[in-house]
Amino acid sequence: MKPPLGVAELEEVGAFIDQWLATQLSENPVVVAVDANVDGPGSWFVRLKGEEKDVFTVRFMLRQRTLAYETYLMPAPEENDAEFYRHLLARNRGMYGAALCVGEENAIFLQGQLDSRQVLVEDELDRVLGSLYVWVEQFFRPALRIGFASRFGM
């Protein structure tokens, strides 16, 4: 097991994330806002503009050993629970770096983490943010139609 990052290393990784997010905000058209240190040092909220889901936020949390990330996908289903959860479990298969999970108030989240040192690997943050974006876009509408079918006249 690798030792946890020290203060200087955490500051280096945090500065790298700050710079990367500033670049995303200026160059990536789906990134519409970035808020740093909302939950304390080493936390970022990145607001993204989607197509299937209009807007969603990815939360990054830098810890001594991991960079954790998550985004809220949708509330708990109102109906078709078994089909809804079976659908989401099937979606989990083949995902890399994140998984669908049940969180507060039984809401559905996409959540993952990577070794804090991996943040400095070229394109790793791009992979994480891009993957979360694609998965929200792919998973949101079909899951919504199952878990809230009567709202769609189904």
Span 73-111, pLDDT tens digits: 999 999 999 999 999 999 999 899 999 999 999 999 999
Global pTM reads 0.93
| Dist. CA 29–CA 43, nearest whole Å | 22
> Concatenated DSSP letters for 14-42?
HHHHHHHHHHHHHH-TTEEEEEESTTSTT
Span 129-147, mean pLDDT?
96
2 pLDDT tier (thresholds 50, 70, 90): confident
Among all chains, which residue has been given the structure tokens 């740093």?
Answer: 36
Q: List, for residues 25-82, the tens digit of each pLDDT value.
A: 999 999 999 999 988 899 999 999 999 999 999 999 999 999 999 999 999 999 999 9
Q: Note the CATH architecture for domain 7-152.
A: 2-Layer Sandwich (3.30)
67 strand-pairing partners: 62, 114
AA identity, residue 109: F
